[in-house]
Structure 1
């Protein structure tokens, strides 16, 4: 009898810790950094940190590779590169999954709701800072000058965007580095998404087939 009570106490304790951890994962905001190198070889990286770096997700995309790593206290606990041997199995299992959209059900009010949802999500993940550095030049000097004028307007109206990018008028070149930093609250994103999916007219749009 004592062993059963002890096992029950251990189970309740583990369940309580798991619930607290799930609540923390949802409520505590995530810090994210998005980096991109735009040149001959396109390269992008996303880093998401949670709770002072206790959990960290890194996704790196190069011209010939895509890598995802998940860290717990700086220890890599998952990497998609370790599962390359099972890649063909995953591809075959995904072939039977289909998601189709019935565009006939799209109405003006439905589009308005989708637009408001996307607007809310953009405001939630609004970056705290954006850095753009590098050089650019198009084959048409007039187009290069037009882009330069647009960049000047952006610099004067958006203080959070730091742009240090120089136009080149006598050469076709593109070498730009972009870094975006911000925070996101997963609980609010899920709440907004669930609220959207609860709308009857929107649930009819997406049809899942076998």
Structure 2
């Protein structure tokens, strides 16, 4: 039984390796905007779990060609934040100016980081079970100075992560605290993933590197 991560995120990979999993990595290449646009009036939690499931499903042809026993895990994170136009879910900022405007809204406030998780079990080279769920974590941000914010934006990090911030990188300097699972903010919740694995009949301890 192999653990397949349908993500190119180095943060998710590091969380798993630190927790005793050495995953096979396959990048899905899913068009996230197209997946989200196809959902009829979805709730925020439904968007992230649909994206996570799409990523897991996208790599199944490659995985089933290589492995007969595996669990494929897809994840997707988005930030639910208040804007002048009302609540909005956002992913990675498209450019530095968008990241700057988001940080000006986030500074000194709280937001909800949603991470969708999807698990697909393969046995005998066939899909035999699926499970999915969303984890929500409240993030409390500090208010970086203008110089600190410009330095953070210049690092390029905000453009590569959901919500324009990290917990385990340079952005961690500007996070006052969280209410919930820190792993979910990084990109994958270990407790939730364990529960989803159990739901498809797999014990996480059987996946640990021996």
Under a length normalisation based on structure 2, what TM-score does the superposition of the two structures give? 0.25
Structure (1 or 2) with the greater strand fraction: 1
Under a length normalisation based on structure 1, what TM-score does the superposition of the two structures give? 0.25
Higher relative contact order (CA 8 A, sep 6+): 1
Q: Which one has a bigger Cα radius of gyration?
A: 1
